Amino acid sequence: MAEPPKELVKDEVTGEMMSKTALKKLQKKREADAKKAAKKKEQEAKAAAAPAKKKSALASAEADDQLEPHQYFANRCAAMQRAHAASEGGEGATPWPHKFQVSHTLPEFVAAFSGLADGARDEATTVRVAGRAMRKAGQGKLIFYDLHGGGAKIQVMSDPKSYKAGADAWEAINDRLRRGDVVGVVGKPGKSKRGELSIFPEALELLSPCLHMLPKGQGSEVLKDPDTRFRKRYLDLMVNEGGAKVFDVRSRIVRGVRKYLDDRGFLEVETPMMNMVAGGATAKPFVTHFNELGINVFMRVAPELYLKTCVVGGLDRVYEIGRQFRNEGMDLTHNPEFTTCEFYMAYADYHDLMDMTEEMISGLVKEIHGSYKVKYQPKDGAEFEIDFSPPWPRIPMLDGLVKALSTHEKPVDAAWLVAPGALARPDAVDMLKKAHVEAGGELCA
């Protein structure tokens, strides 16, 4: 027997006809969904009304350190563009300010305040320094930076209590700063409890942001790849501590050579670098074109010929420190363009030049290193010491060559070299090559 048809009722929301049971289930579901939606809306309203949680001044920097270099660059560029746009509208400071007046360079700061006691702070003195921030770290409410510049390093110990603009401004500037940024610091000089020379900032200012991610690490070998170091010397100087020392020593050598010659009555001159004839040395020159005259000229391989004409003209003592250009081999110790010092001295001979060479070089070593003895670490092999103490041994070239060959691990008899006119013999070159091979050497082309 067939069941009687169920009584249908109309859903007021959709207008659909359904059984009473189905309608009750649908209504309960709608009520539950409405309660969930109301609860979610209430939570969102509370979250919007609540004050934003302050993140650590290190949080952004630590998060950026986990990015890929290209992502870091994109984020950093965008952040600086936003900061610049805000500064144009009168909100905040520009990331590229026009001027920051310093009262001390970092070497001057080190010289002036190194005598402070451990844990002391000179509250009576306010200094203004600037440099590149090469480390950023935190401990509680302290943010630390290592500030580098001019071959010196100091520590920045930043805390919100010392910051004049208040805790919010302190959070904002420390959140903005990144490793590699050039930073201006206004504050009190002092030392940490561990004795590290520091500045305690009352104000910090971003002077120039570093947009690229720097190699991580500290010390003299952060950047090790030779190709990268020499092609991007600025990066080597930036991240490898002590990298600037090479430039400093070179500069002192050039000044020392110039002073030595000036003190002895030599006149420094400048001679042409582009010549019609590539003379003064046996070397392959670079060729360039002189547009005005429509001719090719050679970049000089040596200043010799022009300096000799100065002597002919009556300048008895002349010298030039300058660049030479030789279109030949290139490796880590040979560069197509290089600096030389060439000098000429009338009424002198090679004995005078030996005296001057010994005096000049030993004097420069003593002046720069404080000793005649210098330790040298070759790329391969053990460190050894070079002694520049005068007087130096003076060895006649041929006598020295004969002695060196006779005491070699593969002794060679080359006594014929000291005979009068030995090098004028027709077979002299062949005999020298034979001696070279017997000694185990490789002949150069």
Tokens 């001719």 sit on residue: 295
What pLDDT score does 433 carry? 87
Q: In which residue ranges of the chain is pLDDT below 70? A: 1-6, 50-57, 441-445
What pLDDT score does 340 carry? 95
Q: How far is CA 82 from CA 116, 264, 299, in A?
A: 42, 61, 49
Phi and psi at residue 339, in whole multiples of 5°?
-105, 135
Phi and psi at residue 227, in whole multiples of 5°?
-60, -45
Contact 134, 215 (CB under 8 A): no
Distance CA(356)–CA(180), nearest Å, equals 46
> Beta-carbon neighbour count of residue 403 at 10 Å?
13
What pLDDT score does 3 carry? 55
- Please calculate the CA angle 13-19-22 and round it to the nearest 5 degrees: 70
Q: 317: exposed, middle or buried (C-beta count within 10 Å: 0-12, 13-18, 19+)? A: middle
What pLDDT score does 103 carry? 96
What pLDDT score does 264 carry? 97
Helix (H, G, I), strand (E, B) or coil at 67: coil
Chain centre distance of CA 195 = 27
Distance CA(188)–CA(112), nearest Å, equals 13
What pLDDT score does 61 carry? 77
What pLDDT score does 30 carry? 86
> In this structure, are strands 267-268 and 317-325 parallel, antiparallel, or unpaired?
parallel
The pair of three-digit structure tokens given for residue 404, joined into one six-digit string: 């060196």
Tokens 């103490």 sit on residue: 389
In single-letter form, the type of residue at position 257 comes to V
Residues 6+ apart with CB under 8 A from 73: 211, 212, 213
Q: 239: exposed, middle or buried (C-beta count within 10 Å: 0-12, 13-18, 19+)? A: buried
Contact 150, 106 (CB under 8 A): yes
The pair of three-digit structure tokens given for residue 255, joined into one six-digit string: 């000044």
Q: 388: exposed, middle or buried (C-beta count within 10 Å: 0-12, 13-18, 19+)? A: middle
Alpha helical stretches, state H, 328-375: 350-369
Residues 6+ apart with CB under 8 A from 88: 94
This prediction has a pTM of 0.76
Q: 189: exposed, middle or buried (C-beta count within 10 Å: 0-12, 13-18, 19+)? A: buried
> In this structure, are strands 182-191 and 197-208 parallel, antiparallel, or unpaired?
antiparallel
What pLDDT score does 41 carry? 86
Tokens 């909100």 sit on residue: 91
